[in-house]
Structure 1
Amino acid sequence: MAPLTNGKVPKSTKMHSKVVIIGSGPAGHTAAVYLARANINPVLFEGFMANGFAAGGQLTTTTDVENYPGFPSGILGPELMDKFREQSIRFGTQIITETVSKIDLSARPFRYWREGEEHDEAETADAIIIATGASAKRLGLKGEVTYWQSGISACAVCDGAVPIFRNQPLAVIGGGDSAAEEATYLTKYGSHVYVLVRRSELRASKIMAKRLMNHPKITILWNTVATECQGDGDLLNNLRIKNVVTGEERDLPVRGLFYAIGHEPATSLVRSQLQTDLDGYIITVPGTTQTSVKGVFAAGDVQDKRYRQAITSAGSGCMAALEAERLIAEEEGSEEA
């Protein structure tokens, strides 16, 4: 069958593929490039607003990406993902702009169904790479949509060095280790960092909590929540905050707000069939992308709750491709023998 790009296989024709990739971020496309160059003819389902994101994942919602190697002047997130996609297509990846909504990992070849075709005959694959990513949890504050990526971020490492935050007062929401790490990191760039903690104590480990409380450029606002994000229509410049004990509300002038309240991995498709941790992240064999089911690999933020960077996602996508290619080669070799 001739490769289809951005196509849809007619319902009367069901595909069997050596490797199917579910997800279209750096992990998925890197896996696709490696597999396509190895003549595996991968099929990549980029989804249609899957997990709330356009094809390309979280990077499609970011502006300047300055920490991805090879782009010394930075590059817009959507542009970077367009380049990933172009490279996948160049080497022959079959990209399908549909969402995989159901999957059966109980036996190989694995069976899967597209959204809207759950009652039709399944399509099959010898190996599957899950690269569906994760999304930052948001609070749904008034003004949040207006100033998302215009002063509001969920990744200090990704965005902290952006010029609009330099030498400006910043705020972090959260009370765990992630919040402590993000706030400490932001002191390199901001003039001062306020940490909003809903409770009267931190959930962070003792060593991280001590580091946070002793830092001269950090102020912890206990029993405090944000109620509204305000700005000039283009950039954030103020938070309305409230003390949950006294009920007092006031303004907190800041130019940046960073959420550190966790991420939600997009694992609902496979959570009941693959081993996951308590937060829903897919567990992989240490040093590999192999999941608890042979032939199913997980790459990117769907299995990485620590780093969550485009470059680490791309690296794990490479690993998944090499491991899937090796598995298929070994099985084809044994069949020939």
Structure 2
Amino acid sequence: MVATEAKTEERRRPAGLRADLRAAIPDATAALVITGLIFWFLFDRVLAGSSPTLEVMPYLDPHAYWMYWLCQAFGWSALLWAWLTTMLGLIRSSDRPGWLRISPVRVERWHRTTSLTTIALMFAHAFLFFLELVRTNDNELGALGRVLSAFVEGFVPGGYPSGTGRVAILLGLLALYLAIPLGLVYYLRNRTGARLWRALHRFVIVVYVLSVWHTLLYGTNVWFEGWPRTTLWLLQIPVAVLLVLRLIAPARRGERLGGDRSPLAIARKIISLLAVVATIAVIIAVAVSGRDGGRIRDEAMGAEPVVLPWMVWVGFAVFCVAIAVAVAVVRRAERRRPERAARRSRG
């Protein structure tokens, strides 16, 4: 009886943005504590001279550039929370296993609050980088010139002019700007319709992929090496496994392999499964080989990365086309629904 009442109470709790922001306060507090610990870890490594970053940028004194290191700490905590919210989202959208005693409503609420925290951490990471650029830009530009230059380099995709950052910062900004609409579209579901918001929200996995890629392009040869980089790659395996389970046994029955027997639906699901399995194989291969698209530490710092900005923009264009197709398919299905209902009533 008590359990039933508790479940009923969970269903009655509001799921609006304001309510979720209040519910995210403990989660955000924990994220700030973790960020502080990461900042201490990074700061201590620089003081001890054991940070690989000093080999590339020996001038990054931790006291003079504390804002930069705080920016990096927020970036790592943002990636950690992105991993957490992605795992929760995949668990919620998959068929619930018998051993999982946590209700789907609670998992979904955790997913929403961690998503909000992730977006906030991502913005804090970008904003601190912008402030550091304002502080360190050439004084000859003047105050307004330093701010405008820092804004272009820190917030305009493709605006960062040099080095690995041409690709890494581009990927990070695309992740930030996609996370906001794809993550918050849930709170507009009453206007967009449930089918459209679900179709759009499925693309949010790309935000996580971009976030990991953004981190690794810098993390391979500058911020971390050895076990931290390998651990980061291996943490992607449970995400890929859950994605396979999500495709094989989704929570919604209509999305399961046997739910829609049309050739197009079956082909789409098979291709998705093969793509995820191939991704798992790539993750393992990259974790073992260390070749993830960034520059290798022993290579010259002036060498071009394997991935170039124009490649990212081409991939982003394909991604936008995929979103447009998904929206068109949903809208077409919604227009046909009244016609099918009318035919059934006539029959």
Question: Under TM normalisation by the shorter chain, which class is it?
Answer: under 0.3
More strand by share: 1
Higher RCO (CA < 8 A, seq sep 6+): 1
- Relative to the length of structure 1, the TM-score reads 0.26
- Relative to the length of structure 2, the TM-score reads 0.26
More helix by share: 2
